[in-house]
Amino acid sequence: MSGVVERRSIDVVPDEERYGTAFSQFTLWLGANLQITAVVTGALAVVFGVSALWALIGLLMGNLLGGAVMALHSAQGPRLGLPQMISSRAQFGVRGAVVPLLLVIVMYIGFFASGTVLAGQAVGELTHLGDTAGIVLFALITGVAAAIGYRVVHALGRIAGLVCALTFVYLGIRLLQRADLGTLLDDHSFSLPMFLLAISLSASWQLAFGPYVADYSRYLPRSTSSRATFWWTLGGSALGSQWSMTFGALAAAAAGDAFVGHEVGYIVGLGGTGALATSCLYFVIALGKLTINVLNTYGGFMSVVTGVSGFRGRRTLSPAGRAAYIAGIMIAGTIVALLGKDSFLSSFKDFLLFLLTAFTPWSAINLVDYYLVAKERYDLPALSDPEGRYGAWRWRALAIYGIGVAAQFPFLATNFYTGPLVAPLGGADISWLVGLAVPAALYWLFAPRDRTLEQVA
């Protein structure tokens, strides 16, 4: 890739333009997860009733389980040289892939909005412009960084990972000076439904990266070990998220009602009352959110282009077209952020659980197809040809996807909907487990078996 501004969009990255090592996935995903929204996700487990001890255990289990799934997607990047959602065309058809893509785009806008709410608070305090102006300013910076592309994404990950890691060490020490760790973990009361909620929160956090994780590994050389890509991705993502979520859970347990609705202010308050310390912490919060918001904007742009190109047949974009798509994602996310900034915490919890219902079936189908059916081999030109091997619509896979989504609803527990099988399970939400198992089994049983290719993608 020549120059700083990226030229590629959804087209295959040629071997001569590939560079880097699998370790880059560790630094990127560590930086992407050491940030305020992950802190809030960990805090949610305690806010909604899980004891701090069991919240930490549940969050760790969810991060490892969900992180393993997302890392399996990451390992596809060096092999295919393509953005993640393009590979969905092999399962759903060149045009049929637009069905999960629509939900993926909603995800990107939602995460952009939720991150912008929190970062906007930090920017507003840092600049003394207020929350609304802070949200708009942060969104504009995000859009510019996403437009530059792949190189700046990884650079942000490295910088944010180092800066935020040092900051979280400092904040952790300050938190434990205010509250005794033994006291915070002394409550051993166990509730299975609440424990499963903690697992679901962190698992959904990790699974939501699945639709775009390969976007950031696709420039790695084709010879990059799939195993190395998997482990470095899992290591960075699980470590970063568990670190942030542990801090959030302990902060919520220590602060109680003082944390809810004042997440940014409470965390900044831990750092001290001096103007310099306060400004530095607001800057770090904004920097941490910038990394993940750029990922969401970049991934949203890739997904929109993937959906549109399935019908228009184009695989490349002009710089102006690229900027227009990114601006659209940025504007939509900013509007949602401004409309929802006053009811962030409860809405975000339900948003995370909703994501699970949409993305676990997609993940299951994509991974079973790639690793077990196609044996890591795809006909790359056919991924852009509605008349080719994969066709325009693969109705069998789309039906299985729909069944996978529907199968979760009896087990789903949110503020706006609770399934009929939740009460017999003591209020436990196991929808995400159903969403992985049912479509994986159905796709394995009913997927076509004529997919072995002589060409190794």
Q: Give one DSSP letter per residue of 92-156, joined into a string.
A: H-TTTTHHHHHHHHHHHHHHHHHHHHHHHHHHHHHHTS-HHHHHHHHHHHHHHHHHH-HHHHHHH
Residues 155-169 as b or e (16 or more Cβ within 10 Å = b)? bbbbebbebbbebbe
Give pLDDT, residue 179. Answer: 85
Give pLDDT, residue 283. Answer: 85
Give pLDDT, residue 353. Answer: 61
Give pLDDT, residue 455. Answer: 45
CA-to-CA separations, 117 to 310, 336, 368, in angstroms, rounded: 33, 9, 36
Q: Give CA–CA dist 147/227, Å, rounded.
A: 31
Give pLDDT, residue 351. Answer: 67
Asked whether residue 456 carries a pLDDT value surpassing 50, the answer given is: no
Give pLDDT, residue 450. Answer: 53
Give pLDDT, residue 457. Answer: 46
pLDDT digits (tens, 9 = 90+) for 5-63: 777 777 888 999 999 999 999 999 999 999 888 888 898 889 888 899 999 999 999 99
Asked whether residue 403 carries a pLDDT value surpassing 90, the answer given is: yes
Q: Give CA–CA dist 397/281, Å, rounded.
A: 47
Asked whether residue 136 carries a pLDDT value surpassing 50, the answer given is: yes
Helix (H) or strand (E) holding 184: helix 181-184
Percentages helix, strand, coil for the chain (3-state, rounded to 5) are 75, 0, 25
Domains and CATH numbers, the chain: 15-343 (1.10.4160.10)
Q: Which residues contact 183 (CB under 8 A, 6 or more apart)?
A: none
Reported confidence tier of residue 349, pLDDT bands at 50, 70, 90: low
Q: Give CA–CA dist 281/33, Å, rounded.
A: 17
Give the mean pLDDT of 330-356: 71
Mean of per-residue pLDDT scores for the chain: 85
Name the 3-class secondary structure at 418. strand
Asked whether residue 327 carries a pLDDT value surpassing 80, the answer given is: yes
Give the mean pLDDT of 149-159: 87
Give pLDDT, residue 70. Answer: 94
Q: Give CA–CA dist 172/270, Å, rounded.
A: 9
How many CA atoms lie within 13 Å of 57's alpha carbon, on the beta-carbon side?
Answer: 13
Give pLDDT, residue 1. Answer: 41
Q: Give CA–CA dist 181/321, Å, rounded.
A: 52
pLDDT digits (tens, 9 = 90+) for 261-279: 677 777 777 777 677 677 8
pLDDT > 90: percent of the chain: 32
CB atoms within 10 A of CB 456: 10
Give pLDDT, residue 240. Answer: 95
pLDDT digits (tens, 9 = 90+) for 284-295: 888 888 888 888
Give pLDDT, residue 401. Answer: 95
Residue with tokens 């959904």: 204
Q: Which residues contact 136 (CB under 8 A, 6 or more apart)?
A: 120, 334
